[in-house]
Amino acid sequence: MDQAAYWVLVVARLICTLATVVLISNALWKLLGRPYVVTRSLRRQGIRGPPCRFAVGSLLEARRMLAASRADTLDVSCHDYAPVVYPFFQKWTADYGKTFLFWWGPTPCIISTDVALVKKVLADRTNLFQKVHYFNPSFKSILGKGMLLVNGDDWKRHLKVIHPKFNEEKLKYMSTLVSEGTRRMMEEWYAQIQNSKTDQAEIDMMRDSDELTQGVIGQMIFGVNNKEVHELLVQGMKDPPIPGFRYLPTRRNRRLAKLDKFCTSKIMQIMKAHLAEGSYGDGLLGLMLEAYALDNKTLSIEEVVAECKSFFVAGQDTAANLLTWAMFLLSNYPQWQEKVREEILLECPKEGEAPSTDVLKKLKLLKMTVLETLRLYNPVPFIMRKTACDTNVSNIKVAKGTRIMIPIGMIHRDKEVWGADSNEFNPMRFDKGNNASSLLAFSYGPRVCIGQDFAMVEVMSVLVMILRRFAFSLSPKYVHRPRHRVVLTPKYGLPLIVKNVLQLDGYDYCD
């Protein structure tokens, strides 16, 4: 070996050695050093939490408690789902207080139900507390760089394009879609009742809510009902939160990749057709395409595709589960169902059509019912932020990269905020706007859900049309077991018994 080759080999070995040392040092810091330093710093500030195990943090203990509660069910009158959905949060809040430290593997998370701290985090406008969606890498890879996940200047740019599109005209357009979809759903119920010997029928409200809202949001975004996009997003959300898992050559991952490619291709086809015609359509996709074509290409084509996916999953799942849980509560409290129905009949919107926004504003009891549903069964039980740098949160020094986890479901049951009956169904707590500022169902601050008015109008409109024509109650088959999988859903569906309200005595309709 000549001298030049020898020194090349020496340098190569040195580089490999240094790279190995750096990798090992980083791993040791991440797995041992950082947990020790962060835990010690927060403990000095009075913030404690469950033990941090090597590499896995507090996850094993959390999963053990979750596994122990997996077979548990609740009484239909019990609305405190924490013991079965996140028993670890409930236990650790009792053990360590409203704000505590939890380790998701080697990642530090501050869990807080302190409303003042939470609002300070969510109200930030400096991009100090950045949006991050749990720990599932598939979520980001499937949705792309849509408004749901981007931060900073990118988020402001997306907001500038999209926010003006959520206006009164679009609410009216959505009401038309809701009316058409709800009529089709009710026609199926009528057919089932007519074919029954008992003048009633059993329906799966969870399934029907999914189909209805999927059709509405599909028309709102694409101008067509795009079931493939929904399937892609729902399946992708079920991936385990393991980095790189989505790229393993499993049968399911190959199917997801194929579905993702198909959905993106389908969205692109719709976009190209609109651009070629010079007519962008009435859907949200058309409005974004208009911004792309006429507004100096504020959004790229890839970002338009990402927004379509983001709004589909956010709009469909939120509305579907809000409607499902509202129907559950009204079924569970028949006296309140009667009160809401009487209010609807008193205002007497035109039969067979979704009510106008002006009529909805008069339906006080119905709105309070939906708000109480959001409090007890918020579709997204917790949200998360990530610190962009070392900072202070309510006088707590927090290191860069720390997750701030906000369990909305537990905050909505805080007796100090909501009173001694915080676990009970009581829509009157929202009378005269009481407690409305503490409701975090659509988040809070600058990143509050821009589609909240759409969700409220959609769900209230559907309930008006249903309550005007049907009475409903829980089926004996119903098993009360809320489950959190991206959104909060009834684990075993929501079977209801529906009857044509015209067959009941005591009702006078203004048709």
> Which two three-digit tokens encode residue 313?
């999953």
The string of pLDDT tens digits covering residues 58-87 is 999 999 999 999 889 999 999 999 999 999
511 residues of the chain, pLDDT tens digit each:
577 777 778 788 888 988 888 888 888 888 888 899 999 999 999 999 999 998 899 999 999 999 999 889 999 999 999 999 999 999 999 999 999 999 999 999 999 999 999 999 999 999 999 988 654 555 666 677 778 888 888 888 888 877 776 666 666 777 888 888 999 999 999 999 999 888 899 999 999 999 899 888 877 776 655 555 555 555 544 444 444 555 566 666 676 676 677 667 777 777 777 677 766 666 677 767 766 665 556 777 788 888 877 777 777 888 999 999 999 999 999 999 999 999 998 886 566 667 888 889 999 999 999 999 999 999 888 899 999 999 999 899 999 999 999 999 999 999 999 999 999 999 999 987 767 678 999 999 999 888 888 899 999 999 999 999 999 999 999 999 999 877 899 999 999 999 998 655 444 443 4
Cα separations in angstroms, 373 against 175, 359, 429, 450, 488:
21, 21, 12, 19, 12
CA distance 414 to 429: 14
Given a contact cutoff of 8 angstroms between Cβ atoms, the answer to whether 219 and 253 are in contact is no
CA distance 396 to 228: 45
Q: Map tokens 């500030």 to a residue.
A: 45
Q: Hey, is 421 helix, strand or coil?
A: coil
Q: Into which CATH architecture does domain 14-503 fall?
A: Orthogonal Bundle (1.10)
Following CA atoms 291, 456, 357, 425 in sequence, which dihedral angle do they give, to the nearest 10 degrees? -170
Domain-by-domain residue ranges, the chain? 14-503
The string of pLDDT tens digits covering residues 132-175 is 865 455 566 667 777 888 888 888 888 887 777 666 666 677 78
Confidence at residue 352, expressed as pLDDT on a 0 to 100 scale: 63
DSSP string, 105-167: TTEEEEEE--HHHHHHHHT--SSSEEE--TT-HHHHHHH-S-TTT--HHHHHHHHHHHGGGSS
Q: Hey, is 420 helix, strand or coil?
A: coil
Confidence at residue 203, expressed as pLDDT on a 0 to 100 scale: 97
Cα of 334 vs its chain's centroid, Å: 28
> Which two three-digit tokens encode residue 187?
């026609």
Confidence at residue 237, expressed as pLDDT on a 0 to 100 scale: 47
Q: Hey, is 473 helix, strand or coil?
A: strand
Confidence at residue 233, expressed as pLDDT on a 0 to 100 scale: 53
CA distance 329 to 76: 9
Q: How many CB atoms lie within 10 A of CB 387?
A: 20
Confidence at residue 242, expressed as pLDDT on a 0 to 100 scale: 47
Strand residues in 60-114 grouped as ranges (E)? 99-104, 107-112
Break the chain down into helix, strand, coil percent, rounded to 5.
60, 10, 30
**Which backbone phi and psi does 80 adopt, to 5 degrees?**
-90, 95
**Which backbone phi and psi does 13 adopt, to 5 degrees?**
-65, -40
Confidence at residue 190, expressed as pLDDT on a 0 to 100 scale: 93
Inter-axis angle of helices 452-469 and 301-332, nearest 10: 40
Cα of 376 vs its chain's centroid, Å: 14
Rounded to two decimals, the pTM is 0.88
Confidence at residue 295, expressed as pLDDT on a 0 to 100 scale: 55
CA distance 118 to 47: 16
> Which two three-digit tokens encode residue 469?
């024509």
Confidence at residue 509, expressed as pLDDT on a 0 to 100 scale: 40
Q: Of 108, 132, 2, 1, which is closest to residue 50 (Cα–Cα)?
A: 108
* 510 marked ligand binding residue: no
